[in-house]
Structure 1
Amino acid sequence: MEFATPHGPALAEVEEAAAPRLLLVLTHGSAGGVEAPDLLAVRDAVLAIGGTVARVVQPFRLRGARAPGSAVKQDEAWIAVVAELRKRYPGLPFAQGGRSNGARVACRTARAAGAEAVIALAFPLHPPSRPDRSRADELRQAGTEVLVINGDRDPFGVPEAADATRLVVLPGEGHDLNRNPAQVGEEAARWLRGLPAFGTPGAGGTRRR
């Protein structure tokens, strides 16, 4: 499913629950893609609780750029994609998230996109070996419920618990969160299911688009 944005087309891989109870939109990091193990695990776990899940390939990746570029342009493109997806699935409680750079985008745009929750996977608190360049303010500006899942061996650091609704630090995991991605998915689905905005979704089959 392709969407026009102010900064080029974006692509969304959407998998629908048979009787959807929520919409979750996810995106990739600056170097990886939407097939990252943690993103796939979150997709699978949220589909199992009745969520329709869209994984978005951002415009910079479709252009073949090696770096995301301007945060302002990323955010504008993201908000445009989310607005179109929400039109296609009206009335569903809406959450968004991503891994690494995608987690930053999800936090920065949560208010503008109308997200009721954010899932931040491997949130890069600071560049490696540069703790003085903290990005904690991006977590704080989300203005809604935020789940952070990081590994305790992440060279990009681990956020403080006070800057998220819930912080999960997984022992032995690095920035890729690929040692036990199923646990990442389980944590995300359990947290979403427990939020008042999302009720208690039921399980169901899925349809792929």
Structure 2
Amino acid sequence: MLSGNGEGMDNLLVSGADSAPLRVLLAHGAGAGMDSPFMEAMALGLAENGWQVLRFEFPYMQRQRSSGKKRPPDKAEVLLTSFREQVEALVQDKPLVIGGKSMGGRMASLLADALLDEQAIQACICLGYPFHPLGKPDRLRTEHLAGLRTPTLIVQGERDAMGRHDEVSHYPLSEQLQLAWMPDGDHSFKPRKSSGHSESTNWALAVRAMDQFLTKLLSSTERTQQA
């Protein structure tokens, strides 16, 4: 169905071989598209570990590319519809995990349980989840996360301004949700120089966390199918 590394196909960037045992469909964040350095690092890192990653863009980002003018994100209903359309367009011949960066990950988490019930996906990955808007810690975006039934991994910077470690530790979150903390990382996992960590090592750590999550998920899926 899909092949190649980093090839564009109908609003998709595909990284990793078509023979991969599992696919990951990733959406971008609010301010940067599917080819941002962050998205590229996550996708290629997973591909190097044997997974196939498909990146797509929401309608507003496609319009921004064609017009050259910066545009605000579409309303949530449009984003969710666009995400679902991408899932439905894929041939369901192997396990599928959905996710994304920031806003994209949030949209994935909002769709996850419905798609799980439809047997369209197996899990969700959020990279830098926006637990609350910037500077508004009282406006939580966690209600659906408390009862989430889909196995979900959130990779989060320890000092993310939209959900720091000390804040998130107090949120009521589903037992299906795992958290992987990036040392001193911000919303894109970049640490301060004084921390002794680096952006590249944190990005590699994020890829490792996702790889471990996917490996365990695939093993569990295979055992279920054999039972």
TM-score category of the 2 structures, normalised to the smaller one: 0.7 to 0.9
Q: Secondary structure at the match of 2:129?
A: coil
Cα distance in 1, alignment partners of residues 96 and 142 from structure 2? 23
- Name the structure where strand makes up a greater proportion of residues: 1
For 1:126, the aligned partner's letter is H
> In the alignment, which of 107, 117, 124 is matched to residue 123 of structure 2?
117
The corresponding residue for 2:43 is 43
Rounded Cα–Cα distance in structure 1 between residues aligned with 2:78 and 2:220: 29
Q: Which runs of 5+ in 2 are unaligned?
A: 1-8, 65-69, 191-198
Q: Is the 8 A contact 2:102 2:126 kept in 1?
A: yes
Determine if contact 1:37/1:181 at 8 Å carries over to the other structure. Answer: no
Q: After alignment, is 141-150 or 67-76 more displaced? A: 141-150
CA contact (8 A) 2:22 2:95 kept: yes
Alignment RMSD:
2.2
More helix by share: 2
1:105 Cα deviation (Å)?
0.8
Establish whether residue 169 from structure 1 lines up as the match of residue 181 from structure 2: yes
TM-score by length of 2: 0.75
Structure 1 residue 40: Cα displacement: 2.6
* Percent identity for Structure 1 against Structure 2: 28
Q: 1:198 to 1:67 in 2, by over 3 A?
A: farther
- Relative distance call for 1:191 and 1:199 in structure 2 (3 A) is farther
Aligned to 2:149: 143
Matched to 2:83, the amino acid is: W
What does residue 132 of structure 2 align with?
126
Q: CA deviation at 1:62?
A: 0.7
In structure 2, the CA distance between the partners of 1:115 and 1:130, relative to structure 1 (3 Å rule), is: same
Match of 2:73 in 1: 68
The one-letter code of the counterpart of 1:165 is: L
CA distance, structure 2, for counterparts of residue 142 and residue 32 of structure 1: 27
Is 1:57 matched up with 2:64?
Answer: no
Higher relative contact order (CA 8 A, sep 6+): 1
Residues 148, 177 of structure 2: 8 Å contact kept: no
Structure possessing the higher radius of gyration over alpha carbons:
2
The alpha-carbon deviation at position 193 of structure 1 amounts to 0.5
Structure 1 residues 154 and 44: CA distance shift in structure 2, 3 A: same
Number of aligned pairs? 189
For 1:121 and 1:168, locate their aligned partners in 2 and report how far apart those are by CA, in whole Å: 10
In the alignment, which residue of structure 1 is the partner of 2:161?
A: 155
| TM-aligned CA deviation for residue 198 of structure 1 | 5.0
Summarize the Cα distance change of 1:66–1:141 in structure 2 as closer, same or farther, 3 Å threshold. farther
SS in 1 for 2:159: coil
1:15-34 mapped onto 2 (5 Å cutoff): 15-34=15-34
Q: 1:40 to 1:199 in 2, by over 3 A?
A: farther
Greater CA drift, 123-132 or 45-54 = 45-54
Structure 1: which 5+ residue stretches go unaligned?
A: 3-10, 201-209
Q: Give, in angstroms, the shift of residue 18 of structure 1.
A: 4.9
**Matches of 2:105 and 2:60 in 1, distance apart?**
16
